[in-house]
Amino acid sequence: MKTVKNKKEIFMYYYHLLGDEKFALEYAKYLKAPSLLRLQKISYFCYVDYASKNVFDFKEHITRFDHSLTTALITKKFTSSKKEILSGLFHDIATPCFSHAIDYMNEDCTHQESTEEYTEYILKKDKYLLKCLKEDNIDVEDLVYFKQFSLVDTERPKLCADRLDGIILPGIFWTQNVTPKDIQNIVSSLEVFKNEEGQKELGFTSLQVAQKVMEVSDAIDDFTHSPYDNFLMTLLARITKLAISKKYITYESLYFYTEEELIQILKNTKDTDILSMLNEFLNVKKEEIPNKENPLIKKRVLNPIVNGERLYRI
């Protein structure tokens, strides 16, 4: 295991550990799909990593594209099914600009799934992707209904590729309590078990590793329930809602613009209300944020399987 110097290098270590080179060759044509490439310009952290440095000082960034790759790579470790692996790769295709801040705008901060309704529309609008799927005799409906594949996505408190990656990435870049050694231990301890419903579910062969994953997950949950994250997410939701109401943008455009393009549109409006809120988002000081929590925010509960048994039962 080589020495790493920064968070991006830790991510690359994780990426290579999962077997990125073989995947890149086998799925090269899918990595060129326009709908997927757009995610290279969508922040994994709902754009709060570009907010005031006084609140969350992200020095390095990660994207929904990166998350899509690593989710697919985790899936590929445990199945040869191309449709399952592609479902992992395209599971976040309906991520709008500002990601879950749009769920806040839609008054869905509890489940944070309101934006998934665009999954089918976006996949079927990508003609290049449809051509690739046809060549491989894969039905686009398999990607639309990705939740049928429990390795890719499953209900909490169960563990799946999307959820595990959603612990590792914030653990690297946000809570910063995941090291390369932790990643090596997590990946080497991963196993697929049959859960209580007879579904395939990711779990661990090591109790110590499972407890570490729980520790990281709890730390992330504390961050997402903090007054600071709630303030920034809510403010971004208010900015977006106002821009839509004033017809500077449409709701649909959130799914086809990049965040950089959308921010530029907001700046070009010269609308004093929008610019004032955007300035607050970019420059607010931590001590200026009210100590107000939102009890409705999704609780990231987790109870993984360890050697065939739920952690909380051990």
310 phi and psi angles, rounded to 5 deg: -60, 140
Residue 41 DSSP label: G
Q: What Å distances lie between residue 311 and 192, 215, 249, 263, 304, CA to CA?
A: 15, 13, 47, 44, 6
Residue 2 has pLDDT above 60, yes or no: no
Render pLDDT for 245-281 as a digit per residue (tens, 0 to 9).
999 999 999 999 999 999 999 999 999 999 999 999 9
Residue 12 has pLDDT above 50, yes or no: yes
What is the predicted pLDDT for the residue at 1? Answer: 46
Q: How many Cα atoms within 13 Å fall on the side-chain side of residue 84?
A: 18
pLDDT in tens, 207-259: 999 999 999 999 999 999 999 999 999 999 999 999 999 999 999 999 999 99
Mean pLDDT score, 280-307: 92
The number of angstroms, rounded, from the C-alpha of 222 to the middle of its chain's C-alpha atoms is 17
Summarised one tens digit per residue, pLDDT across range 35-73 is: 999 999 999 999 999 999 999 989 899 999 999 999 999
- pLDDT band of 192, cuts 50, 70, 90: very high
pLDDT tens digits for range 62-120: 999 999 999 999 999 999 999 999 999 999 999 999 999 999 999 988 888 888 889 99
Question: Taking a C-beta distance cutoff of 8 angstroms, is the pair 289, 228 a contact?
Answer: yes
Section 287-295 average pLDDT: 88
For residue 4, what pLDDT is reported?
Answer: 55
pLDDT for position 37 = 98
In terms of Cα–Cα distance, which of 294, 298, 296, 239 is closest to 272?
Answer: 239
Query: Domain coordinates of the chain in residue numbers?
Result: 7-226+298-313
pLDDT score, position 312: 86
CATH class of 7-226+298-313: mainly alpha
Higher-pLDDT residue of 126 and 19 is 126
- Amino acid residing at 200: K
pLDDT for the residue numbered 3: 56
pLDDT value at position 22?
87
